[in-house]
Amino acid sequence: MDPIVIVLIVIAAIAVFLIAGFNRLVTLRQRVKEAWSDIDVQLKRRHDLIPNLVETVKGYAAHESATFQAVTNARAAAVAAGASASPQERAQAENMLTGTLRSLFAVAENYPQLQAIQEFKDLSENLTATEDKIAFARRFYNGNVRDYNTALMTFPTNLYASLLGFKPEQFFELADPTEREVPQVKFTTP
Amino acid sequence: MSSAPLTPRVNIYDAAAANRVRTVVLIVVFVGLVTALVYFAGEYFAPGGGIALLPFALVFSVGSSLVSYFAGDKLVLAQSQAREVADDEERELHNVVETLALGMGIPTPKLYIIDDSAPNAFATGRDPKHASVAVTRGLLDKMDRTELEGVIAHELSHVGNRDIRVMLLVTVLVGTVVLLSDWVTRSMFWGGGRRDRDRDGGGGGIIALIAIVLAILMPIFATLIQLAVSRQREYLADASGALLTRYPPGLASALRKIAADTEKLEVANKATASLYIANPLKDHNAFLDGLFDTHPPIEERIKRLEAM
């Protein structure tokens, strides 16, 4: 066979290979975006629930204003982060919000009448359900990020991916309230 | 085997791609089988009649494929006497389904309830956007939260993997094949075929033989396909469901409860049995051990879940 033909065939094969790799990256990146919008919807729902919750608790525990202020501020920060920030920054804001919510529920614990009213029960149940959904949406998102990042970093895609503008995506890491804290190890010198 | 670690993450996109191929193969095989049956049956009754019947056979088989593709879920749900759950009732069920659907990365399917005290569930539909999950009243009453999550996660894996489409097509098409060949067999014994068979000799005999063999073997063949298809994917859905909840004991305990329940699900039948999470008919065919079971043995499924 003519050597030129062979060279052409090899070039064509390489081109097909590169195009397939490129298309795969585009598909994977698209999946990451879709998964992210699932998280986004649930985070917004959580933000929407909080003002009502704060108002309800306020009706019974008006003097705990520091706690309410902390929740309201953290919520505002989380909403602001939702407008533009990266997954990492959003996760930070959400973690702050989770922390303040925990102290809000700790406050609510001290008011048995509050615990008894239906509205409070519904709100806290809704909030728990939403947080469950965030946890699952996050898992799906992180799975897709991992697949995309792996494709990005493996040979031979890693050779040309960055040239074409593909960047690794960030994981969305939330503090899991059930996770055990890392034990603090201190070495004291005698 | 059973000590194998947790199955590697089953990517729903990969499973979905494999099932898309299966769908096409299934429809092609179905159309081919029906056409062959009609052709030979036609030749049997009147030489040359097979060719004349071919267009009808094609229209019929393509038509019933389309019907089962687009309306099969409604047929199955109606046959199971399932009613749709309103948004404001069964809040826990809604929550479980919505949450797990997010984890699976699929839209929330429509929810149906079958008013029967036997615990069971199935999923159906042509793709995740047109999917439905049906659970029995007994399932809601007898399962706790983690068990319900296990069952729903199993069903949503079927949705995410596009198993539901293949299972639905198989169910409706196998039903059609069985009906059709039943019809042909009957008219062969009672119809006017004998006249033609007497008239010409050897050639007609062979065609008659093929027609009879097809009419008898097709339902068996079709049923075997249905069973083979459904058993493998139960294990897969168990595994990916357990992976979704991160809690295999939930589904294992649900399966144990379902197995211990001796009640038969009244609205299930032979055609729809393979759709359910566990055999709703409670019949065990010891004679052809395993060959005609719609589901893998429940003990084996529990064992695999416990090994995860």
Q: Is the pLDDT of residue B30 over 50?
A: yes
Q: Domain for residue B76, yes or no?
A: yes
Q: Is the pLDDT of residue B180 over 90?
A: no
Q: Is the pLDDT of residue B114 over 90?
A: yes
Mean pLDDT of B115-136: 93
Q: Domain for residue B294, yes or no?
A: yes
From chain B, the residues in CB contact with A132 under 8 A are 95, 99
Q: Domain for residue B6, yes or no?
A: no
Of the listed ranges B140-149, B207-216, B231-240, the least confidently predicted one is: B207-216
Domains of chain A, residue spans = 3-160
Q: Is the pLDDT of residue B201 over 60?
A: no
Within 8 A by CB and 6+ apart from B284, the residues are B293
From chain B, the residues in CB contact with A42 under 8 A are 102
Q: For position A185, what pLDDT does the model report?
A: 54
The 10s digit of each residue's pLDDT in B214-237 is 777 777 766 666 666 667 778 888
Q: Is the peptide bond before A156 cis (omega within 30 degrees of 0)?
A: yes
The 10s digit of each residue's pLDDT in B282-302 is 665 545 555 556 677 888 889
Of the listed ranges A61-70, B32-41, B259-268, the least confidently predicted one is: B32-41
Q: For position B106, what pLDDT does the model report?
A: 92
Q: For position B51, what pLDDT does the model report?
A: 80
The one-letter amino acid at B75: L
If you average pLDDT over every residue of chain A, what do you get? 86
A140 touches chain B (CB under 8 A): yes
Q: How confident is the model at residue A159 (pLDDT cuts 50, 70, 90)?
A: confident
Within 8 A by CB and 6+ apart from B126, the residues are B69, B70, B72, B73, B164, B165, B168
Do the chains contact at B105 and A147, CB–CB below 8 Å?
Answer: no
Q: Domain for residue B4, yes or no?
A: no
B56 touches chain A (CB under 8 A): no
Q: Domain for residue B51, yes or no?
A: yes
Q: Is the pLDDT of residue B132 over 90?
A: yes
Report the number of distinct structural domains present in chain B: 1
Q: Is the pLDDT of residue A67 over 80?
A: yes
If you average pLDDT over every residue of chain B, what do you get? 80
Q: How confident is the model at residue B173 (pLDDT cuts 50, 70, 90)?
A: confident
CATH code of the domain occupying A3-160: 1.20.1440.20
For residue B144, the enclosing domain spans: 12-307
Which of A140, A143, A147 minimises the CB distance to B102?
A140
Q: Is the pLDDT of residue A156 over 60?
A: yes
More confident residue, A184 or B150: B150
Backbone φ, ψ for residue B17 (5° rounding) = -65, -45
Of the listed ranges B29-43, B69-83, B126-140, the least confidently predicted one is: B29-43
Which of A151-165, B54-68, B143-157: highest mean pLDDT? B143-157
Q: Is the pLDDT of residue A55 over 80?
A: yes
Q: Measured between alpha carbons, how far is B18 from A189 in angstroms, rounded to an integer?
A: 62
The model's pTM is: 0.78
Is A81 exposed, middle or buried, given 0-12, 13-18 or 19+ CB atoms closer than 10 A? buried
Q: How confident is the model at residue B1 (pLDDT cuts 50, 70, 90)?
A: very low
Q: Which residue of A has its CA nearest to B9?
A: A143
Q: Is the pLDDT of residue B42 over 50?
A: yes
Q: Measured between alpha carbons, how far is B11 from A163 in angstroms, rounded to an integer?
A: 28
Q: Domain for residue B1, yes or no?
A: no
A147 touches chain B (CB under 8 A): yes
Interface A:B, Cβ pairs < 8 A: 28
